[in-house]
Structure 1
Amino acid sequence: MVQEVVESVEGCVARAGVLARGGGRRVLGITGAPGAGKSTVARRVVAALGDLAVYVPMDGFHLAQVELARLGRTARKGAPDTFDADGYVALLRRVRDVGNVGDATVYAPEFRRDLEEPIVGAIAVEASTPLVVTEGNYLLLGEGPFGAVAALLDESWYVEVPEDLRMNRLVERHRAYGKTPAAAREWAYGSDQRNAVLVEGARERAGVLVSLAEGQASR
């Protein structure tokens, strides 16, 4: 696949705006390795487009802590099998089907990092909103339950930043939410990095490469 390249957040906003104004309901998927800035790009795009877009992150489909404990997967939280992938696919199908004024609102979950838990019904996707912006690690995986996601996206972006910036972000994120410096580094270079390798294997499936230099990525 020949990928188009966007090198600024402003370019992302402009491209998403074309999608939003293209008629009907569109779904934009943003992926990339942990710490690449997917959620930052998604939030900036949605904020710039106002009523034309809504942000629906894949992270809302994290399994609850009690279920991760039951399954013995707590230490691998963030891996593909620690999400309700089928539920996420079902939601994407619903939001694709709903796009006419007068249709029912679809409610999506969000993930609260301060609680480390998903919260159901937290995001309202109004029928009149033309663009749904979804982001997450596994949107372009070619196998397992996440394999159905790519076909539900009208456009897919892969976000990447310099590797040292990405890793520093991950460590600081874990520290900000209560891990010790040593534990934060262990998680970032262990579990997170194993997931990053998996995500990076799907890079070439994206239609657009969002390549942000450090100055752009931090704005």
Structure 2
Amino acid sequence: MGSRRRLTTAQLVERADALAARGGRAILGVTGPPGSGKSTLARAVADALGPGRAAVAGMDGFHLSNDVLVSLGRRERKGAIDTFDDAGYTTLIERLAAQAPGDGVVYAPVFRREIEEPIAAGVGVRATTPLVVTEGNYLLARAGAWPRARARMAEVWYLDPPQDLRLERLVRRHAAFGKSPEAARAWALGTDQANAELIARTRGDADLIVDWR
């Protein structure tokens, strides 16, 4: 924990590499508000370390499906904390933390933005991979099953870029996946911003708070 630090990709990769070198399985969490760069950094770390040393198994694969969200009356709040299967995600993290040499592949779901739905068994993690990077909004949430998942993570990094940059990324992303510019901005300033304010309250629980761009 501590103050916000400006770090480069190379510096963060070096820190992740040290986790991978500890022996056994380490799980690195990357969290922060929507648009903070979580998935981009997780992939950059995994690519830098290589497929034999790091894999990514994110939280977004545990989005509830659109059909389930409609049945619960939550479709217009997709991305809020109660639109995820926190118990399912926690079970995955516990399985990954316990995975040891000789164990079979653990498969994790992924989220496909082009269809706005989770896909089962989208990525496989081998027992010989020393570092698993997991990213998502609610890794530091203090209620539900989330704290059990956090307890199995060696470190959690909180990404905290400037607000205007974060919002610009969000609007651009929503527009790229089909929203009109007006709808993209409304979602970023509405549903996304409400989630960001909830996530920001967990900032102080991170091992590292970083302005990474």
Tell me the TM-score normalised to structure 2 length. Answer: 0.97
Deviation at 1:176?
A: 0.4
Residue 82 of structure 2 corresponds to 81
Are the aligned partners of 1:99 and 1:130 in contact in 2 as well (CA < 8 Å)?
no
In 2, Cα distance between equivalents of 1:41 and 1:94: 23
Deviation at 1:122?
A: 0.8
Deviation at 1:6?
A: 5.3
In 1, Cα distance between equivalents of 2:13 and 2:127: 21
The one-letter code of the counterpart of 1:7 is L
- Residue deviations 1:117-155 (CA, integer Å, cap 9, x gap): 000011101010010000000000111222322211111
Are the aligned partners of 2:35 and 2:166 in contact in 1 as well (CA < 8 Å)?
yes
In 1, Cα distance between equivalents of 2:180 and 2:209: 34
Are the aligned partners of 2:2 and 2:209 in contact in 1 as well (CA < 8 Å)?
no
Deviation at 1:165?
A: 0.5
The one-letter code of the counterpart of 1:73 is R
Deviation beyond 4 Å, 4+ runs, structure 1: none
Residue 49 of structure 2 corresponds to 49
SS at match of 2:151: helix
The one-letter code of the counterpart of 1:54 is A
The one-letter code of the counterpart of 2:187 is W
Are the aligned partners of 1:3 and 1:207 in contact in 2 as well (CA < 8 Å)?
no
Where do residues 1-219 of structure 1 align in structure 2 (5 Å cutoff)? 1-2=1-2, 5=5, 7-50=7-50, 51-100=52-101, 102-212=102-212, 217=213
Identical-pair percentage = 50
Are the aligned partners of 1:138 and 1:146 in contact in 2 as well (CA < 8 Å)?
yes
Identify which range, 2-11 or 160-169, moves more after superposition: 2-11
In 1, Cα distance between equivalents of 2:2 and 2:210: 14
Deviation at 1:160?
A: 1.3
What CA RMSD, in Å, does the superposition of the two structures yield over aligned residues?
1.1
SS at match of 1:115: coil
The one-letter code of the counterpart of 1:26 is A
SS at match of 1:174: helix
How many pairs were matched up? 212
In 1, Cα distance between equivalents of 2:6 and 2:130: 22
Gaps of 5+ in 2: none
Are the aligned partners of 1:3 and 1:206 in contact in 2 as well (CA < 8 Å)?
no
SS at match of 2:159: strand
In 1, Cα distance between equivalents of 2:100 and 2:77: 36
Are the aligned partners of 1:8 and 1:210 in contact in 2 as well (CA < 8 Å)?
no
SS at match of 1:165: helix
In 1, Cα distance between equivalents of 2:79 and 2:32: 13
- Residue deviations 1:86-139 (CA, integer Å, cap 9, x gap): 000000000011031x21110000000001000001110101001000000000
Are the aligned partners of 1:6 and 1:208 in contact in 2 as well (CA < 8 Å)?
no
In 2, Cα distance between equivalents of 1:137 and 1:47: 21
Change (3 A) 1:181 1:4: closer
- Residue deviations 1:8-40 (CA, integer Å, cap 9, x gap): 111110000000011000000000010010111
